[in-house]
């Protein structure tokens, strides 16, 4: 366990020096949320709504960090350390692939949590209230995060090189970022488009977070939960199975 924290501490320091992840996973979601706060303030989501526009958007803002960490940062970090032959050096030490992947995943969990924390503080300025239950909201946040990170783990684990990882990451990251309700609320999209984007796993996670945050009737939650858990297990399993040192 001590070993795990030494690695986590070192990798976090390295990524702070590089500044990519603090910007994309913590500062960017915060900036977007603050802009929404300035634009909408404490206005209701729509006429007669029992919650404000910002309350409706809180889950989506959290998802920006999850998306940046899981689909952009994580695959790049893993394939970069392979390309730089850092993994080759680890191969002739007693370290296991599960340990190395675990450290990387933990690092992005820290970023997502840091983003959640800063967003929660920013939310105080516009009197955003958690109307639903905290454990349920945190549960959906955790589920969205873990399932998204596991996709990133798989991409980083099996991509041939950093370039390929970057391409796959962009293909996953940008459509999900724009269309799954992170930056653009699903509610403002045309109906047909809403139907398509609901197929993204991240869309499910965001709507789960939104529903638990706003205490709305979530409808059938069992299906998205099962899909996301199944996706996580599958991706983590494949990432470990097909882990490449070089």
Partner 1 sequence: MSEAIFAEGLTKSYDGKTVVDHLSFSVERGTVFGLLGANGAGKSTAIECLLGTKRADAGTVRLLGQDPGKQRRALFQRIGVQFQDGDYQAEIRVSELCEETACLYPNPMDWRVLCRQFGIGDKMRASVKHLSGGQRQRLFIVLALIPRPEVVFLDELTTGLDAKARREVWKTLESLKEKGLTIFLTSHFMDEVEALCDEICILRKGVSVFRGSVPQAKALCGCERFEDAYLHLADQEADA
What residue ranges bind partner 1 (CB under 8 A)?
Answer: 2-3, 6-7, 10-11, 13-14, 17-18, 81, 84-86, 88-89, 91-96, 245-246
Least distance (Å) between residue 85 CB and partner 1: 4
Strand partners, 52: 44
Question: Under a CB-based contact definition with an 8 Å cutoff, are residues 74 and 152 in contact?
Answer: yes
Query: In whole angstroms, how close is the CB of 167 to partner 1 at the nearest point?
Result: 21
Q: Which is nearer to partner 1, 7 or 33 (CB)?
A: 7
- Give CA 160 to chain center in angstroms: 23
Residue 86 CB, nearest approach to partner 1 (Å):
6
Measured CA to CA, the distance from residue 113 to residue 232 in angstroms comes to 19
Burial 42-73 (b: 16+ CB within 10 A, else e): eeebeeeeebbbbbbbbbbbbbbbbbbbbbbb
User: Between 7 and 213, whose beta carbon lies closer to partner 1?
Assistant: 7
Nearer to partner 1 by C-beta: 25 or 61?
25
How many helices (DSSP H) and strands (DSSP E) are in the chain? 12, 0
- Residue with smaller CB distance to partner 1, 59 or 97: 97
CB of 81 to partner 1, least distance (A): 7
């Amino acid at each position: 366990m001590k070993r795990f924290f030494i690695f986590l501490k070192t990798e976090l320091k390295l990524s702070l020096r590089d500044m990519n992840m603090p910007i994309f996973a913590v500062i960017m979601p915060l900036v977007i949320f603050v802009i929404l706060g300035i634009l909408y303030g404490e206005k209701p989501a729509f006429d007669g709504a029992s919650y404000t526009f910002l309350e409706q958007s809180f889950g989506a803002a959290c998802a920006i960090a999850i998306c940046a960490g899981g689909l952009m940062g994580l695959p790049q970090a893993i394939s970069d350390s392979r390309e730089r032959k850092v993994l080759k050096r680890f191969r002739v030490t007693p370290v296991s692939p599960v340990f190395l992947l675990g450290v990387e995943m933990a690092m992005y969990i820290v970023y997502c949590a840091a983003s959640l924390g800063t967003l929660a503080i920013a939310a105080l300025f516009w009197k955003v209230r958690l109307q639903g239950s905290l454990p349920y909201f945190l549960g959906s946040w955790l589920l969205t995060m873990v399932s998204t990170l596991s996709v990133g783990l798989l991409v980083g684990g099996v991509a041939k090189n950093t370039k390929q990882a970057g391409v796959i990451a962009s293909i996953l990251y940008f459509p999900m970022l724009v269309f799954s309700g992170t930056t653009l609320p699903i509610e403002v999209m045309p109906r047909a488009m809403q139907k398509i984007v609901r197929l993204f796993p991240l869309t499910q996670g965001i709507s789960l977070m939104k529903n638990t945050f706003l205490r709305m009737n979530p409808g059938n939650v069992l299906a998205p939960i099962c899909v996301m858990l199944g996706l996580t297990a599958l991706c983590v399993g494949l990432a470990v199975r097909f882990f490449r040192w070089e």
